Structures are given as C-alpha cells and as structure tokens.
Amino acid sequence: MSRTLFVGDREFFPGIGRIEYEGPGSDNPLSFKAYDPERIVAGKSMEEHLRFAVCYWHTFCADGADPFGPGTRQRPWAAGNDPMDNARSKLDAAFEFFTKLNVPFYCFHDRDMAPEGETVAQSESNLKQLVTLAKERQQASGVDLLWGTANLFSHPRYMNGGATNPDFLVVAHAAAQVKAALEATVELGGQNYVFWGGREGYSCLFNTDTKRELEHFARFLAMARDYGRSIGFEGAFLIEPKPMEPMYHQYDVDAQTVIGFLRHHGLDRDFKLNIEANHATLAGHSSAHDLQMAVDAGMLGSIDANRGNPQNGWDTDQFPMDMYDCVQNMMIVLAAGGLGSGGFNFDAKVRRESTDAEDLFLGHIGGMDAYARALVIADRIVSDGKLEAFKASRYTSFGQSAGRRFENGELSLADLRDFAAGSPEPVQQSGKQERVENLLNDYMFT
Amino acid sequence: MSRTLFVGDREFFPGIGRIEYEGPGSDNPLSFKAYDPERIVAGKSMEEHLRFAVCYWHTFCADGADPFGPGTRQRPWAAGNDPMDNARSKLDAAFEFFTKLNVPFYCFHDRDMAPEGETVAQSESNLKQLVTLAKERQQASGVDLLWGTANLFSHPRYMNGGATNPDFLVVAHAAAQVKAALEATVELGGQNYVFWGGREGYSCLFNTDTKRELEHFARFLAMARDYGRSIGFEGAFLIEPKPMEPMYHQYDVDAQTVIGFLRHHGLDRDFKLNIEANHATLAGHSSAHDLQMAVDAGMLGSIDANRGNPQNGWDTDQFPMDMYDCVQNMMIVLAAGGLGSGGFNFDAKVRRESTDAEDLFLGHIGGMDAYARALVIADRIVSDGKLEAFKASRYTSFGQSAGRRFENGELSLADLRDFAAGSPEPVQQSGKQERVENLLNDYMFT
Amino acid sequence: MSRTLFVGDREFFPGIGRIEYEGPGSDNPLSFKAYDPERIVAGKSMEEHLRFAVCYWHTFCADGADPFGPGTRQRPWAAGNDPMDNARSKLDAAFEFFTKLNVPFYCFHDRDMAPEGETVAQSESNLKQLVTLAKERQQASGVDLLWGTANLFSHPRYMNGGATNPDFLVVAHAAAQVKAALEATVELGGQNYVFWGGREGYSCLFNTDTKRELEHFARFLAMARDYGRSIGFEGAFLIEPKPMEPMYHQYDVDAQTVIGFLRHHGLDRDFKLNIEANHATLAGHSSAHDLQMAVDAGMLGSIDANRGNPQNGWDTDQFPMDMYDCVQNMMIVLAAGGLGSGGFNFDAKVRRESTDAEDLFLGHIGGMDAYARALVIADRIVSDGKLEAFKASRYTSFGQSAGRRFENGELSLADLRDFAAGSPEPVQQSGKQERVENLLNDYMFT
Amino acid sequence: MSRTLFVGDREFFPGIGRIEYEGPGSDNPLSFKAYDPERIVAGKSMEEHLRFAVCYWHTFCADGADPFGPGTRQRPWAAGNDPMDNARSKLDAAFEFFTKLNVPFYCFHDRDMAPEGETVAQSESNLKQLVTLAKERQQASGVDLLWGTANLFSHPRYMNGGATNPDFLVVAHAAAQVKAALEATVELGGQNYVFWGGREGYSCLFNTDTKRELEHFARFLAMARDYGRSIGFEGAFLIEPKPMEPMYHQYDVDAQTVIGFLRHHGLDRDFKLNIEANHATLAGHSSAHDLQMAVDAGMLGSIDANRGNPQNGWDTDQFPMDMYDCVQNMMIVLAAGGLGSGGFNFDAKVRRESTDAEDLFLGHIGGMDAYARALVIADRIVSDGKLEAFKASRYTSFGQSAGRRFENGELSLADLRDFAAGSPEPVQQSGKQERVENLLNDYMFT
C-alpha cells in the first residue's frame, strides 16, 4: 500500500520524489532494488512483514555532532528562531520524508517532536500542540505511529538517572514526561510504548544503591503501565536493553537481564522487549541471540534495526547492511510468526561525513533493501526446511521413551544414572556447523 | 587456626615448610606479608573472614598446556603408570600443599580427584575409593571441603553439552556424574555444590534449540537438587556464570542472567551464585558488579577469586593481585555480612612460564596477601563510614514525605506529575565520583 | 588444472572422491557450488587467482582439543605406536586430502610433518626422511608447497620465546629448527617461508627487556635470510602478525607494526607479510585494513584465510564464510594485481563438535566457494568501476595546480596558509558512505 | 616552587584558595595528601619529576555534553555574548585555576584559547590577541606552556580529515591553523608542539586512498617541522597516537605504528610521541606498553595522563587513579631518565555528573596525588633493585661467549645450529611472573 505523498508549505527535499521499486537492474540510487512493498512472500506483502519505521531523532533532530565536533548537516526545518515554529517545520519535513520513502510507520521521543518548555505544564502544552498537528498529518498521509517514548536522558536534570534518580523530584519529572508521552501515544494511535534507560544505571558503583534504584525502576514501570491502561492504551510496553553508554553501566543490560527483571516484578504480562542490534553487540551477543532469547520467552516486541562496527566499542547506529545479520534475524522473526504489533524501526543515522540531503534517503533505502532481501532468503531457507530438519534431528532422543519421560518430569537423577549405566557409550554426533554455514551461504548466494 | 601439616609417603614439595606470617618487613618470598590468619579484623579472624580454598584442577591436574603447546610443569604425582596410583599420589600432594599453605578449604571436580573408568560403575567406584582416602586426609589435617562439582565439559561425549546435550543419553551420563559427585560432596562434608556449565551453550545458534535446552537445564538442576536433599545435602547449590569459552556462547552469561533463570524456574531457594572475577569481566562487567547483583538478590554463595588481563579476551585465570578489585569486592562482602558458607576459592593458575615448584606457592601467597590487605582496607573504609554516608545522603528524598510514599506504592503516575509540576526545578546534585575515587586511594595508600 | 588423485596404502577418507564443481543447483554437500578451478575471471582461471592451500596443522595434526577438554576427532593416521610411522601415514592422508579437494598448495611446520627427535641431529634426520617422501608425493600428485615454517612455540623450551628467548641456548635451538625448515622448504620448492612469532612477546612487561629481545629478533631474521639465500631460496620471507595469544602481548602486533620493524632493520627487501584475517581482528582491525596496509607498503606476501567470532576474544580460526570480508579482501587483492607467489591458505579448523571425517572437507569447500564467489563479485565491482571512480573523484584537487604542487613538495606551510586565506571556504563534500555500502550490497545480491 | 596566585577581575573559583600539601592525615578534600612539590625523590623535587600540566579543553571549554545530552556544568567565563570577551574571561579562569592548583604547565589547542573567526586572517588575529594576554599571564604567574596544538578535527570542514583531507583546500586550511598555532607556541615559549589526528583516518575503507592520504600526512608534517624550525621553535614535535574515535579507524594507531611511520618518512629526528594512557588501551595495549615502545625507540616525548574504563570501548578520559598503571608508568619514566621537556598533562575530564566547581580541583588533586605516590613507590622499587636484577639475570647468557658473539653479529644461523646441537638441552627457567607481581604489591602496600 502506498501512502499519500505529503509536502507542507515548504518542500524540504526538493528534487526527490517518491522512492519506487525499480528492481535489481536499476542504476538509480534513489530507488529500491529489492524492497517491493506489495510483493507477496510467505503469504504476506513485504510491507506487512517488515513494518518499517523511521525514527524522528536521528533523521530530523540530529545534525552529525559527535564528541569531537559540532554538526555538519543542514536542517532547514530547524533554521528559524522560534522553537515551536521549528518543531512544526520539522514535522512537515518528517512527513514529507516518511511519504517519499513510503514507510508505514514512525517513532518519536516527546522532545524530538516538541521542545521542552519552562514548566511542566508548558512542556505538556507544547507536546499537545504538535500531537494535534501530527494526528492531522497521519490521517492525511496514512503513516502510523509504531511507538512513542519519553526522553529521560538528555536534560541535565537526568544526569544521575530518570526513573532511578537518587532525587525523588527528578523521578517525579520523569513521571510527568512519561504521562504526557503516553497520552500522546494514545492520541496518535501508537501501537507500542518504549522505555530506553540511557541514564538508568551508574557511573560509579560506590556512590550508588543499585538495589534501591532497581526497585524504584520497577515501581515506576508499574505506575506507567497502570496509567497507560487507565487511558486506554492497549499496546505493548517495551524495554530496550543496552549495557552501557552513556553510563559506564546501565541496568537493562540485555534481553535476558531485562526478561528476568520484568518477571521478578510481575511486569512480564504487559512488557516486552525492543531489541536493538547494536545494543546486543555492545553486550557481547549477536543480535540474533538477543532476538532468540526474547522469542523463547514470548517477549519479542519490536526491533531497532541497525548495526555497529565490530571494531568500535560504542553505538555507531549504522544502517543495517550486513546480510548475515539481517537473514538470521528474519529467520527468527519468521519462525516466531512475525513481529505482531512491532516493526523494524531504523534507529540508525548517516555518518557525520554524509552531508547531502539525499544521504538520509540512501541510508534508509539500503536498510530497507537489505531486510527485503533477507526476507526473501529467510523464506527460502524456511520453505526448503533443511536447516530446521537438521536441528530437529539432533533432539530426536527426547521424543522417545526415556527422553520423553525426562521432559515430562517423570524421572529422577538416579533413574538417569541407571539409564546411562545400562546403555552403551553415546554415539558421537557431529554438530556439523560447517555444513550449516555452507548451506546458509548457498541459500544467500544462489 | 593452623591445620596439621600433612606429608604422605613421599614429600612432593621438599624444602618448603609451612608458610608463616612474617609481616611486611620480611624478605622471604615464601611467607605471608599481610595474611595473618588469627589477626582479628571487624570482630573475626582473617581466616574466618576469608575462608580461602585451593582448587584441585589448576594446582594439581593442569600442567601448563595451552592451545599452542603442551605442559611445562613437573608433576611428580602424575608420573606413574597406574591412573589410580597417580590419583592417590595427587591427593597426598594436594593435602601436603593445603597444609603447608595453611588454607582451611579446597574444591574439586570428580575427575580431578579420580580418573574416569570404562563404565559408569567403574567411574563411581574410582571416585569412592579416593573419597574415602580424602576423608581420612581431611580428618587428619583439619582441611575441609568448600565445594565439590562434576566435570561435564572435558570428556568428548560432552562436546555438545552436558545437561543441555541434544542427546538424552549424554544428559543421563551427566546425571550419573552429578549423582556421584553429590554423594562425594556429602561424604566429605562439603558446604556447597557447584555447577559450571562450560559446554552448556552453543557454537552455532542455527543448529540449536535454545528454548528446549534451557528447559532441560532447569529440569536437570531440579533433579540434582532433589537428589542432593534426599541424601542429606544441606548446603547451597551454586551456579557459576560465564558468558563464553569454550563455547561461542554459554547460557549462564552473568549474575543477572542466572538469577533470572533460577527465579523463573523456582530454583532460587536452593541455588545461589559462585561469582568468578574473570568470568564477570568476560561478560563486560566488573567483578564488583556481578557480586553486587548477587548480593542485591540475596544470592551470593561463594567467590572464585582470580583476575583476567584487561587486554586479553579469554579466561587467563591469574591470581588476584589487583587491589582495586580486591578492596571493592571485600567492601561488598563486608556490607553483605560476609560469605556465609562460601569462601574465596583460588580458581587461578600460575603462568605456563612459571615452572618452579615454589611458583604454585607464590601465586597463592600473592592472592592471600592481596585479600588480607583488602580486608584491612575495606574494614577501614566501612568503619570510617564516609563513603557509605555520602551514598546514603544522595537518597534522602526517599526517606521523606512524597518520596517515602512513592517507595510505599501510595502514589500514581499522575501524583508524581503533579508533584513535579508543583515543585521548583530540582537542585543539581553532583555525583562526586572524583571525590569518591580520591577517598578510595586515600584509604588504600595511607 | 586437476592434480592426480593420490591414495596411499590405506585410504583415509573412504567414500569421498574428488570434490567436483557441480554448480549452484547441486544438492551434494561434497561438491563446489561456486569454485570452478578452470573458470576464467578477469583473464585468469579461478585456480590461478586464488592459489588455495591446505594447512597441515589444523587439518592433520589437531584433534579438536581445547583448554577445557581433549580431542574429539578420529585421526586414523595417528593411531600407531611409532611416531615416524604415524608421520608417514599422516603424509599419505594429507596428500589424499589435498588431491581429493583438488587444491594446488599446502603449508606445514617442521613438527607437523616429522616428530621432534631426542637430539637436534635426530630431529633433522626425521624431517629429512619425511621431506624426501613429501617430495615424491608432490611430484606424483602435482600439489606444491606454498610455504614452510618452523614451530618455535609448542615445545616447552620455547615457553619464554624462540628467537627472543632470554636464554641464548634456546635461541640457538630455534636457529637449528629454522635452518632445517629452510632446507626442507628449498628441497620441496616452497615459494615462501613464514615466521609466526607465537611466543615472541611477553606475559609480563616487568621481567622482559623488550628492546634487547626485539634486537635479537631482527638479528635472527637477518641470519635466516642470509642462510636461506645461501642455499638457493629465492622466495619471499614472510612475517605473520598477531597481537596476543598465547602470550599476553606479542611483538608482531599487526601489519603496520611489522612493516615498521622490517624497514627499521633493513629487512623489507626480503620480507613481506602473511596476513591472517583472525589475527587482524584480534588487533582491532578489519582484515581488509591489514591487507591494505600491506599492499600500500608493497609488502603483501600471502594470506591466511579464516575468520573469528566477533563476540569471542581469541583466535577461533573458523573457515572464511563471511562474504563481506571475502569480497573486500578480493577487491584489494585484485587492485594489487594478485597475490604473486602467495596464496589463500586455510589456516582454519572445523569446530571441536564437527567430528565426521567429511567435516574436514565441508569446511574447506565452504571456504573455497566463499572466495570463488568473492572473486566473481570483486571482478564485477572492479569492472563496473563506479566505486573506484567515486574514490578517485574525491582527490581531484590534488591532480591540479596547487594540489599537485603540494604533492610534488613545491609548497611550504606558509604557501598553504596563503592559499587557504585567499580561497573561499571549501565546499562541503559528502563522504557518501551509505551510497558506497548500498552499491556493495547491490553488487553482491544482484 | 610555587607560582604566584593569579586572580583576574573576577574570581571564578571563589572560596577555593591555593591547594596545599597537607599530608596523608588531612581530612581536607581540597589538599594534597601525597603531592608535595618540593619533596626530593631520587635527587629531584616532585615538581621537577612530574611536570604536571592542566589541559585547556576539558577543564575550561567542555561543559559535560555527551552524545546523549547537553552540558551540565556552569562555566561563568563563557556566559557573555562576545566570543572574544568570553575567551579573555576563560584565560583568566584558567590562570586562576593553574595557580590555585599550583601546576607548572598548561596545554592548549588554538580554538580552545581563541574563537575561530570568519576568515583565516581573523582567526589568526583572534589567536594573537589571546596569546599576547596569555604571555602576560604566564609572566605574571610563572606558569609555562608545555605544548600547543591546532584543533584540526572539530570544524565541519575537517569532517573528512585535516592534513589527510581529500580536498586540498581543506589541507591548506589545516596548514594555516598549524602555522598560527606554531607561532603561538613559540611566542609562549612552549616546549613541545603536538599533533593529534582525530580525523586523520577513515570511516569507510572503500572510499579512501589510504596510501595517498598517508603520504600527504608525511608531507604536511615535514612542512610544519620546516616552518617551526624557521621561526625558532627548538622543542619537540609530538604525535599522539589513537586507534579510533571519532573515526572508525585512525592512522596513528599506537606507538609502534607511529614510530614506523616517522622513521619511514625521515621524521624521527624531530618528532617524538605523546602517549595517552586511554588511547593505548583503546589500541589493545597497556599504557605501560606504549610508553616502553616509545622509550625503546628513544622517542618518548610527553604523556597525556588519564585512564579509561576497562568495560567501556571509548575514550572516557578519566583522571588517572589506578596506582598500578601510575607505578608502572613511573618505573618506565624513571628508567628512561625522566620526561625531558615533556610532562604529565591531565588530558582528563570530570564526569558529566560531577557538577560542583570544586570537582574540577578534586579530579586534578586525585591525579596529582596518584602520580606523586607512584613516584615514591617507583623510586623504592628502582632503589631496591630486586626487580631490575631479576630481569637482567634472565639475559646473562648474552653477556658471555657465544651469546655475546650473537649480539655482535659474529655468528651465522649454521653456527647457532651447531651450538644447539653441541649443547645439552636448555635448563628450564621459570619466568616467575607471580614472584614479580607479589613484589610489586609488597612495594606498593608496605
């Protein structure tokens, strides 16, 4: 399905029209070579499978600044003197971009869309004004909100944490933001609501009461859940794990840490995970690992699609271009029956040196083509069934007699000992990793 | 308390007598400069605080082999032709070492102490014979067993996992070993029983059913717990986390992952954690972090005291010599009220190039002196109280009015929003990390 | 060109015949899907481009042992009681494997091929006997020697270093081995001779005189060079960088470190580099980086083709399967005009859990297919020329007027200052990394 | 020697006087516990040994911003509307700080001290005005300039590199800045001039001509050297290695890479190294390693004293507090005969959460006390001589007969072979790393 092209009073990406599927033969950089939204794969259109979203922050707020230099990119929508006027221009630029790129979804933080005011009330009012406008834009264009969130990490007041700040008044400010962001998400029909705890952690273990802070965090999440449900939010609450950066150590380390925390505090019925690839690798896992752990727990909510540099120890948030990651992630998503109300959100940014306006499009096109190709390849693998059959064959002993009784909880340790003592030495079974990897390449490079 | 010196039919460390405390002025490498077992610190003797243990595997079984070359060390106790004779010699060497070093505890894997036989029954018999002898040695010397464990990772049959092997028959073999090792631990009065899952994980995500394997793991642990309790084991079961090596990825990643797993499967009343410093750093945490997480959960069981090289990405298992780690770990242990039935086990090995017989002593002496110094320093910090007072002062707002009501669960998200809206902007509170770090150095280098 | 199939008195890989090219449609795991030795790409056959070599050590000597368990693989050629008989069987197994896999080259360490004797003279004699036999096998089969080397890291005498050992007598032993290995290499027509300094480094900086050891190393290499030249060796001497493992820190950190060392000691006319992918990543570089640095210096000698796990901090030596690395490496090799007398040597091993005899073939097939595909893709990229043209376009200012004079050394700092002061502000030029990456994926996944 | 306290028209650190040595017993956080500038150690005063410098950028320019949030710190000197007025205020704040802290040196980038103008000429004029003022301040206070440098990485024009930019006009701008910064350094009596190549590297290997860029870099350095010498600069030019960040990969990876580069281009007579601890660790080395490599090459120029977090993969630039690093670094510096015209520059910043004005002092006090303690301990180790004697003893075989002839180049490979063949097997010599490490702790914790 194509959304209606939106261009506001001013066109911010002149010379660039809607990005169309032109196929692998095309020489046009501003076209899709693989992403054909209406193409049917495994019974659904690519668009329905992939549910792509553009993020507001990297694409419309960030300017290329890094710790060693200021921004490099032009952002004509931010050039005015009045923050609210700039915010309205930015919204227009965003919807122009969404519809030219033809993505079904976007995501935002409260402070991406509307500037913080001088008081809580003014901040709320600013956000409400922009939300009203955004709702109009959504209705006019057909672009929907994948998720909203509150920025509890940029303002200096959050330097020691948001929900886990040692000062209760700061926690209260965090609550005020979450309340308003939940209301905005509901108003805009957002399908999920995300918590990323960028300052929820510590820089120094010895000035921090980790136990108390984590209990505060659980209480805060429960309050947010209760409030969200009370105003009609029926979507999923999502936690986005990250192990470090900006803090030395953050609480939501990885999928399993967060799953354990949510279950311990009885939050696992309302909360799921938003897995970001580059966060998983910073935690020492492949992105496939964190996805699989979330799927195993029945708690995969959504995906922040990006990648890091294997040689760099910080979040480079590059567009997902490594087809090995994309294919493996898609295999997991397909096996899990799809993303449900989640999507692939491009939490990715062009490099500081990528300063042409079209570069914002090129980055997204590359990511969308990568996942479109990955979907086709993953479907090929799943349909062919060889890999899955090999995996299943390794566990056949649990489908039978003693193995099955073990799984059913009918055997004791002594029973197992007797089984081993009464059986011949196990037959060696090669794990055949090389065979599996060869198959993967054969499927990818037919 | 000094244990009775034990020397078997043959003395394996001739020329080395009991290692005595000689104090900082001593020039004798084979003396303690700081560890004075009977010195009272914070109301208990050093020996009672530190509960040092020597591990059987690194010190008596390993010979210095690494992936690029064979062993370098002489082990006269392993020089015979009969594996059982060698095992008896090794036991004598071990008790000679324990008593010369004057440690109260040791730890072992089943296969460290007795060789695997050709059948399950023979392996059990081998172990029983050695356990009988070890019990005699314990009684004669006064050295006790801190914990026992089963080696479910070395034998080729475990190459695809022990408790999580895809082949049920291998799981049954693992169970047979655990059953016998539990019996041995009970027989020897062991205070804890440990599981380290070196092959419980995967080398390739795509030939592995992680969900099923983890369910098998939980069932296996429950069976072991039930069996242990049935034969009178009253100590703690411990899981020792490690994120990788030998596998690409292991299931027991770190403290929080394991805590979540244990709670989810209802195992958290019987199981605690054995935290190894070098495993924590491989998982991207400081060892203090993993200790603190275990303490926060009430699940700190014991400590494998060692360290890694910050520049090397594998388990170097060096003796703990970095006083920053030792002091921070001791601060956490003191604040937690001590190690209970756990101890500081030196899961550490001398370098492949350290080939003198005395080097085994020197490594342990260094580690014991380091923790003895750390105990004194940590006690100084705790007694002085400045650090703890600063930490507590950061959270005073939660001791009062609205903050307290938040902690008590009496406020809603909207209440917090109103509190923020009705209060002045929070006063900025420096985290004062530099002050904390200066204090730490001032305490350490008086 | 196909080599003559060799099978000795005993067939070690029964049931496996010559691996043939069957193309992408084939369902036969024991066939090449992409590597077609005689296929012409960019004017040369695949075989001539890729010059594949099998390594003796991983494939015929190693048995799957790792630091946590013994070997898992059957090696029928090593089953006898006499080391020299085993060595002869191993040689037969190796040539059977080489010719069934149809690779043009192999590589070996002295101790891979013949066992160490009790004296220097006996070790030399052992090696000579095997070399005589290997020469026969080479002539009969048409398989050639890519390079030879001496193992100066496994024997306990080398625990503190080979050429850089603090004990001169150990250095002399290292020299004896290199002398014999050079003679063997010459006898077998080896095209290169390699030094990998696995124990040339330190575990502890404070017992090591790094300056003196590095001077010894330079002298040792010069002596080896002189001796090699004196006996008619006309090939390249190669250093293989690796930053760590087994030592805490090794001297030959990476390409640039070694290039600087060789130049400083006047060794850069005879010595080049053997770049191993997994060693480059352990040093914090991509493998493409180290290759490019070697090419820039005119010192690329050969390639050890493998890969590591991005999440594991040790040398996993997996077969090269990541097509991004393979394509980028091939682009560099093609741009450099090929490998000359070097080749792609599979310094790679199957996983410990890969215990079927065919797994040794599958690993190599996967690696060969990967580089064959990479050759085709890299040729497509180079032929199309878009990427190269974009790169060149970024530097056009140096082809003209002031820029050219700068390159020619005709301008001073003050001239440049005046040029800047007299010119308008530079026009911003996007680095267009996303465009480059999209192109790469478009070329790979047509 | 105490510098004259400087306070400008406005006092920027009211309530804080000169930081005095009060010794270990003091409870005053704003005092030195260990750094007693006039205390004589090893024949020189602490001040002469340590030559501490404060850096302008972290302490007076940075405000605590990180990639996830804006600044948190008050900088009253930057509060005005006129950039030049602010620059003058900042200079006053800086000299107030230098003299209150009582450091003999400072360091700066051109853009730290004076704002960039709209033209090259205006930037030069701005800098000159501030330099004139700085010279007055230096003379009045007795504080000297350790080194100057030009910021070739912050301005967007340098996003693709400074001296290695693909656009010659940008290179010319870089030259203009270096020319002016050299003049400023000479005017201020700076003892060194530094190049840190933060943007000299690449984000994408495939749009970069690394060979050409490195040749440009060498030419650029030569031009700078020639210009510096022509205007009377007699100090050392220094390169500061860093492997990555902000770029994916930077050219000046580590000490050995830079040493090789400088020697290759004939720059090693004028250029030395400025080693930053946190940069060495990002490159996979200990800071001691990079220092030792620089000393071995006779090219240690100066030290940027700081540290990173072992768990974080970016430059955290924390104050040096880890006494193991400080002691090892001081041992190397003492063995090298001191720092010459270099110094210990605190390229370190307080945490974003450290927002009290006094925190800037506390960070520096901690670093100064750490190195003062380290000096005392290192002197104790060197004076005692045990460690050095053990190291020397390992190499005795090279002081005699054949070993000496080897070092003198009088032996061939065949001679060595004969020596080995004619000698008994080498006697195993333990590396005794545990003994060395125990000694280190015994020296540190007497």
pLDDT tens digits along A421-445 = 999 999 999 999 999 999 999 999 9
Q: Does the distance separating the beta carbons of C203 and B353 come in below 8 Å?
A: yes
Answer yes or no: A364 catalytic. no
Q: Does the distance separating the beta carbons of D281 and B311 come in below 8 Å?
A: yes
Ranges of CATH 3.20.20.150 domains, chain C: 20-384
Q: Does the distance separating the beta carbons of D293 and C431 come in below 8 Å?
A: no
Q: How far is D33 from chain C (nearest CA, A)?
A: 28
pLDDT tens digits along B332-366 = 999 999 999 999 999 999 999 999 999 999 999 99
Touching chains, A (3+ CB pairs < 8 A): B, C, D
Ranges of CATH 3.20.20.150 domains, chain B: 20-386
What are the tokens at D315? 């430059």
pLDDT tens digits along C203-249 = 999 999 999 999 999 999 999 999 999 999 999 999 999 999 999 99
Interface mutation vs chain B, best among D279, D434, D435, D444, most B CBs within 10 Å: D434
Within 8 A of D321 by CB-CB distance, chain B residues are 437-438, 440-441
Give dist(CA B365, CA D337) in Å, integer. Answer: 34
Q: How far is A355 from chain D (nearest CA, A)?
A: 10
Within 8 A of B28 by CB-CB distance, chain D residues are none
DSSP label at residue C234:
-
> Residues B49, B58, B109, B364: which is the catalytic one?
B109
- Considering only CB atoms, B312 lies closest to which of C154, C244, C309, namely C244
Q: How far is A138 from chain C (nearest CA, A)?
A: 29
Q: Which residue of A has its CA nearest to D246?
A: A68
Asked if the model's pLDDT at residue C95 lies above 60, the reply is yes
Q: Which residue of D has its CA nearest to C389?
A: D207
> Residues D49, D58, D109, D173: which is the catalytic one?
D109
Q: How far is C114 from chain B (nearest CA, A)?
A: 16
Residue C400 has a pLDDT of 86
Give dist(CA D431, CA D433) in Å, integer. Answer: 6
Q: Does the distance separating the beta carbons of A353 and D159 come in below 8 Å?
A: yes
Residue D446 has a pLDDT of 87
Q: How far is C191 from chain A (nearest CA, A)?
A: 30
Helix H segments across D244-341?
Answer: 255-264, 277-282, 287-296, 323-335
Interface mutation vs chain C, best among B58, B160, B253, B312, most C CBs within 10 Å: B312
Q: Does the distance separating the beta carbons of C69 and B156 come in below 8 Å?
A: yes
Residue C3 has a pLDDT of 83
Q: Does the distance separating the beta carbons of B391 and A207 come in below 8 Å?
A: yes
Phi, psi of A254 (to 5 degrees): -155, -175
> Residues D112, D252, D254, D317: which is the catalytic one?
D112
- Would you give per-residue pLDDT tens digits along chain A (446 residues)? 568 999 999 999 999 999 999 999 999 999 999 999 999 999 999 999 999 999 999 999 999 999 999 999 999 999 999 999 999 999 999 999 999 999 999 999 999 999 999 999 999 999 999 999 999 999 999 999 999 999 999 999 999 999 999 999 999 999 999 999 999 999 999 999 999 999 999 999 999 999 999 999 999 999 999 999 999 999 999 999 999 999 999 999 999 999 999 999 999 999 999 999 999 999 999 999 999 999 999 999 999 999 999 999 999 999 999 999 999 999 999 999 999 999 999 999 999 999 999 999 999 999 999 999 999 999 999 999 999 999 999 999 999 899 999 999 999 999 999 999 999 999 999 999 999 999 999 999 98
Residues 6+ apart with CB under 8 A from B425: A157
Q: Which residue of A has its CA nearest to C367?
A: A438
Cα separations in angstroms, A342 against A42, A46, C333: 18, 15, 43
Within 8 A of D322 by CB-CB distance, chain B residues are 324
CATH class, domain A20-384, is alpha beta
Residue B300 has a pLDDT of 98
Residues 6+ apart with CB under 8 A from A146: A51, A53, A105, A106, A107, A190, A191, A192, A302, A342, A343, A345
pLDDT tens digits along B30-84 = 999 999 999 999 999 999 999 999 999 999 999 999 999 999 999 999 999 999 9
Q: Which residue of A has its CA nearest to C373?
A: A445
Cα separations in angstroms, A321 against A304, A309, A344, C294: 14, 11, 14, 27
Q: By the 8 A CB rule, do D258 and D197 touch?
A: no
Q: Does the distance separating the beta carbons of B442 and D362 come in below 8 Å?
A: no
User: Which H or E run includes A21?
Assistant: strand A20-21
- Considering only CB atoms, C362 lies closest to which of A355, A429, A434, namely A434
pLDDT band at D133 (very low <50, low <70, confident <90, very high): very high
> Residues A36, A49, A92, A109: which is the catalytic one?
A109
Give dist(CA B70, CA C154) in Å, integer. Answer: 7
Q: How far is C376 from chain A (nearest CA, A)?
A: 12
Q: Does the distance separating the beta carbons of C156 and B70 come in below 8 Å?
A: yes
Residues of C annotated as catalytic are: 109, 112
Within 8 A of C180 by CB-CB distance, chain D residues are 417
Secondary structure of C275-330 in HEC code, one letter for each residue: EEHHHHHHCCCCHHHHHHHHHHCCCEEEEECCECCCCCECCCCECCCCHHHHHHHH
Give dist(CA C8, CA C14) in Å, integer. Answer: 12
Interface mutation vs chain B, best among D317, D430, D443, D444, most B CBs within 10 Å: D430
- Considering only CB atoms, B406 lies closest to which of A168, A227, A391, namely A168
Asked if the model's pLDDT at residue C1 lies above 60, the reply is no
Q: Which residue of D has its CA nearest to A199?
A: D68
Q: Does the distance separating the beta carbons of B444 and D354 come in below 8 Å?
A: no
Q: Does the distance separating the beta carbons of B323 and D434 come in below 8 Å?
A: no
Interface mutation vs chain C, best among B309, B353, B355, most C CBs within 10 Å: B353
Give dist(CA B210, CA A291) in Å, integer. Answer: 12
- Considering only CB atoms, C434 lies closest to which of A286, A354, A430, namely A354
DSSP assignments along D115-143, one per residue: ---SSHHHHHHHHHHHHHHHHHHHHHH--
> Residues B36, B110, B112, B325: which is the catalytic one?
B112
pLDDT tens digits along D69-99 = 999 999 999 999 999 999 999 999 999 999 9
pLDDT band at B1 (very low <50, low <70, confident <90, very high): low
Sign of CA dihedral A228, A229, A234, A239: positive
Q: Which residue of D has its CA nearest to B308?
A: D310
Phi, psi of B268 (to 5 degrees): -80, -5
Q: How far is B165 from chain C (nearest CA, A)?
A: 12
Q: Taking CB atoms and an 8 Å cut-off, how many pairs form between chains C and D?
A: 266
CB atoms within 10 A of CB B410: 10
Q: In a 3-state reduction of DSSP, which class is residue A41? A: strand
- The hierarchical CATH code for the domain B20-386 is 3.20.20.150
Cα separations in angstroms, A130 against A80, A82, A135, A147, A150: 17, 14, 8, 16, 15
Interface mutation vs chain D, best among A315, A352, A355, A359, most D CBs within 10 Å: A352
Q: How far is B323 from chain A (nearest CA, A)?
A: 16
Q: By the 8 A CB rule, do A146 and A51 touch?
A: yes
β-pair partners for B182: none
Q: Is the pTM of this model over 0.90?
A: yes
- Residue B388 half-sphere exposure, CB side, CA atoms within 13 Å? 13
Within 8 A of A156 by CB-CB distance, chain D residues are 64, 69-72
Percentage of chain D lying above the pLDDT 70 cut? 100
Touching chains, B (3+ CB pairs < 8 A): A, C, D
